[in-house]
Amino acid sequence: MKNFIFISPNFPTNYWMFCKELKNNGLNVLGIGDQPYDELSYELKDSLNEYYKVDSLENYDSVYRATAFFIHKYGRIDWLESNNEYWLEQNAKLRSDFNIKSGFQIEDIPRIKFKSKMKEYYKKAGIPAARYHLADTLKNSKAFAKEVGYPIIAKPDNGVGAADTHRISSDKELNDFFETKMPGVTYILEEYIDAAVNSYDAIIDSNGEPIFETGNVTPNSIMDIVNTADNSIYYIVKDLPEDTRKAGRAAVKSFGVKSRFIHFEFFRLLSDHKGMGKKGDITALEVNMRPCGGFTPDMINFGHSTNVYKIWADMIAFDKSTVESGADKFCAYAGLRDGKNFVMSHEDIMEKYGENMRMVERIPDALSGAMGNQMYVAVFDTEKEMNSFYDHVLEYKKPAGPKKSAKPVKRAIKKPAKRTAKKSAAKRAV
């Protein structure tokens, strides 16, 4: 029996389904997390053979000791994974330290975690990427901004999602950024690209070949959603565009991806961009060596009538899968922000779109920055129907206009004697 250590199986809350399908495939599933066992969901408890609670997953020594305990009790570990970008580096170190050969090792981390290193491998795949500069000095950074033009984007070179990402539009804002940026963090500056994010989401076998492929589109910038506390929308495509498929497969080969669930992000240009391409072209953004976050695996299932949790577990156990897809639909995510004055109430939304709805949940605080607070996931046969859904659920109430002044009361004015015409006219105008 193969031994599989799943790091943080309780977060996100839907990840117990990865464990369930692994166990159904005959693997010995061993969980390591920092949540007390009694607080784990029944479904997760039933999907694990054993669980080891550590004081903190941030404490490498604690996680190391937990892994050593499982090795002592169960023998050689065949797989160690979290499917979570936050633990990607820690996972690689554990594999290297315990000689677990499946998955990335610590020496692989730079090319899959540092945004500046990713560009080299995108280039090898023949996919253009935005110009960049590592923010060493203010003088050099201003020179870069002058070269590419404002706005520019600043973010940690080794970062997760859109956290600590900034749009900088002037020398003054660049000065402010240097005064307030996190100490000890290396930032990458990139030229701004007018584009929508199109992703390539796939489960890759041990030969680097896709077992399953799809994609999603994020029309709005995640950076803006986080920084302005805006609503969040994205959707699973009904049919994966061929140019996205081609770019995704080329990037898989270039980055040397094997036996993983991946989420590769590309820009689809909304306007011509010198050095990058024409409007509509696909260019590079960044790679994520894990599933797209939150409830996206569930959305993929709804959009393609399939089970990616099982497809992934089949890849781990058998290096192939016989799970088929059914009818393809658009699967739309709408993450509404608390405190907004929407036209439609929750009850209105459910009454109008109840038949389309597949999930209605509150988003955990840890994910709400990029995903909103109240989420609705619905499926639609056509893009037109989906866009109408977005138009309705995201519509704001119009602010009340200024109050109209009271209608003046007409009354007769008795003209005083001996008043000049000029003065009389002035009096009437008052």
| Whether 301 contacts 221, CB under 8 Å | no
The distance of Cα 414 from the centroid of its chain, to the nearest Å, equals 75
Overall average pLDDT of the 78-94 stretch: 97
- 193 contacts: CB under 8 Å, gap ≥ 6: 130, 267, 269, 273, 276, 283
**Residue 9: HSE in the Cβ half-sphere, 13 Å Cα cutoff:** 32
Please name every residue paired with 217 in a beta bridge, in sequence order, or none if there are none. Answer: 198, 235
DSSP 13: G
Radius of gyration of the chain (CA): 27
Average pLDDT over the chain, rounded to whole?
A: 91
pLDDT band at 426 (very low <50, low <70, confident <90, very high): very low
pLDDT digits (tens, 9 = 90+) for 171-205: 999 999 999 999 999 999 999 999 999 999 999 99
Closest by CA to 381, choosing from 333, 331, 329, is: 329
CB atoms within 10 A of CB 177: 18
CB atoms within 10 A of CB 343: 12
- 321 contacts: CB under 8 Å, gap ≥ 6: 203, 211, 212, 310, 311, 314, 315
pLDDT digits (tens, 9 = 90+) for 213-246: 999 999 875 556 555 668 999 999 999 999 999 9
pTM of the model: 0.88
Q: How high is the pLDDT of residue 220?
A: 72
